[in-house]
């Protein structure tokens, strides 16, 4: 089975998500680009894999997400709360719950209400 492909805006988003994930996932950074040519070129090697788009909840993220909906209508979209605005600044437990809802495996220490949270008290 091919790994899932998670598309994020920048390397800081990738660094934030990698330790949370408990399965191999290719994380691709758009680096804020909104060129359809660049996105198609970037994703060409991942054509037959499940695509997940996880952009910031801001104007830049919204415009990239809109482009993905046109180019890759089959891609699944993950959303952070506008309260946190960026994937990078979203709390790990919130990111973990978003990923679980999209059927990603995450490390249990990032789950809200998990055993580690009880041990910390």
What is the CATH classification number for the domain harbouring 69? 3.40.1360.10
Q: With contact defined as beta carbons under 8 Å apart, do 9 and 27 qualify?
A: no
Domain that holds residue 103: 4-119
Distance CA 18, CA 24 (A): 9
On the question of pLDDT at 117 being above 50, the answer is no
Number of domains in the chain: 1
Collapsed DSSP state (helix, strand, coil) of residue 114: coil
| pLDDT tens per residue, range 9-55 | 999 999 999 999 999 999 999 987 678 888 888 889 998 899 999 99
């Amino acid at each position: 089975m091919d790994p899932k492909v998670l598309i994020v805006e920048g390397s800081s988003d990738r660094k934030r998500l990698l330790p949370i994930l408990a399965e191999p996932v290719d994380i691709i950074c758009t680096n804020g680009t909104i060129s359809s040519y660049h996105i198609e070129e970037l994703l060409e090697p991942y054509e037959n894999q499940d695509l997940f788009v996880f952009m910031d909840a801001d104007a830049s993220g919204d415009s990239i997400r809109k482009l993905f909906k046109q180019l890759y209508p089959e891609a699944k979209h993950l959303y952070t709360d506008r309260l946190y605005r960026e994937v990078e600044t979203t709390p790990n437990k919130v990111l973990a719950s978003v990923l679980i809802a999209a059927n990603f495996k995450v490390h249990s220490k990032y789950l809200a209400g998990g055993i580690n949270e009880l041990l910390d008290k």
